């Protein structure tokens, strides 16, 4: 089970109604942050999310509405006497931009801030992975996949009985070792369990115009959080963004289970935006508000 907290759901600039992009994923006691627009620390406090539980922040690109909250977030961690390192991941240019933030003002964190410039990579962290992929936004920009590792199937009592065995302490040993000898038989985990269960997959587009790389990485996502900045094509001009209708078509083509329309431009009231999405989306979708919480479960 993965919990997604939409800390900021709008784009371009904050408004009275909603903040700029930041998404927190809670997984087994850890908080992974995707983007950190201005005001992210306030949103985290309102959502009762401790910044001290954040060890990794993934920035999609360096337009202000996606990263200007980093400085306040890091200074708050410092104020609370953080000692463990903070890892920040982002596209080309990340090191220069983050170091400039850390040099501004009379401030230097007492803990290590480790900056990772990445392209398309697959990063493994215990029971989950983060995949990054390039998107099309006119500057170096990435989208991200949070992918829980596939889990083994449950013990199948019918399979156990067919082998002439009974449930017992040997099952715990088998879980730990993957193989065990019982009554003279060598038993492997796959011999007595059902099919693997697919791990949860959450995809975040960041800012992008429609692109094939995103469709590929979003394939069969449990949740696709796709930017849908504009309702009308003429409002987009040359801004490298996606419309609501395009985001819905991408999610449908990728066979995503649920689409979250994200990064709404300030010009659109919430009700107008939702009403338009209902007209054009042929798949399950949501338009999250700030501080909405969504629980995502896999197969």
Q: Catalytic residues, which ones?
A: 65
Residue where the block lists tokens 């961690």? 77
Q: Point out which residues pair with 182 in neighbouring strands.
A: 185
Q: Give the length of the chain.
A: 299
Q: Is 241 known as a binding-site position?
A: no
Nearest to 225, CA basis, from 256, 266, 271 = 256
Q: Is 235 annotated as a binding residue?
A: no
Among residues 141, 131, 294, the alpha carbon closest in space to that of 225 is found at 294
Joined tokens for residue 121? 């990579």
Would the annotation count 87 as a binding residue?
A: no
Nearest to 23 by CA among 63, 62, 64, 60: 60
DSSP helix, strand, coil percent of the chain (3-state; round to 5) = 30, 30, 45
Element (H, E) at 262: strand 259-262
> In the numeric block, which tokens belong to residue 281?
């989306």
Residue 277 three-state SS: helix
Burial of 258 (0-12, 13-18, 19+ CB in 10 A): middle
Q: Please give the DSSP secondary-structure letter assigned to residue 53.
A: G
Enclosing H/E stretch for 113: strand 113-117
Query: Is 292 annotated as a binding-site member?
Result: no
55 annotated binding-site participant: no
CA dihedral 6, 92, 132, 215 (to 10 degrees): 90
Determine contact, residues 170/179, Cβ cutoff 8 Å: no
In this structure, what token pair is assigned to residue 70? 């980093």
Residue ranges at the known binding site for Zn(2+): 61, 63, 65-66, 137, 207, 263
């Amino acid at each position: 089970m993965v919990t997604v907290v939409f800390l900021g759901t709008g784009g371009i600039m904050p408004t009275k109604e909603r903040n700029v992009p930041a998404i927190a994923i809670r997984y087994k006691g850890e908080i992974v942050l995707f983007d950190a627009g201005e005001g992210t620390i306030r949103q985290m406090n309102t959502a009762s999310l401790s910044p001290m539980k954040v060890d990794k922040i993934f920035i999609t690109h360096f337009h202000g509405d996606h990263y200007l909250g980093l400085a306040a977030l890091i200074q708050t961690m410092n104020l609370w006497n953080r000692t463990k390192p903070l890892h920040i991941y982002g596209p080309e240019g990340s090191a220069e931009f983050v170091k400039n933030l850390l040099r501004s003002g009379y401030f230097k964190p007492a803990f290590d801030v480790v900056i990772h410039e990445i392209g398309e990579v697959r990063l493994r962290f215990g029971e989950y992975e983060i995949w990054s992929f390039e998107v099309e936004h006119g500057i170096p920009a990435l989208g991200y996949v949070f992918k829980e590792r596939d889990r083994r199937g449950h013990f199948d009592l019918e399979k156990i009985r067919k082998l002439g065995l009974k449930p017992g302490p040997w099952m715990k040993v088998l879980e730990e070792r993957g193989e065990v000898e019982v009554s003279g038989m060598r038993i492997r985990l796959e011999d007595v369990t059902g099919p693997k269960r697919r791990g949860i997959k959450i995809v975040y587009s960041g800012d992008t115009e429609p692109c094939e790389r995103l469709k590929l990485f979003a394939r069969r996502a449990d949740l696709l959080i796709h930017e849908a900045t504009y309702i009308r094509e003429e409002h987009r001009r040359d801004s490298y963004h996606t419309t609501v209708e395009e985001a819905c078509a991408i999610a449908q083509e990728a066979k995503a289970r649920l689409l979250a329309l994200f990064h709404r431009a300030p010009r659109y009231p919430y009700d107008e935006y939702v009403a338009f999405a209902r007209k054009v989306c042929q798949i399950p979708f949501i338009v999250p508000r700030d501080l909405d919480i969504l629980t995502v479960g896999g197969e």
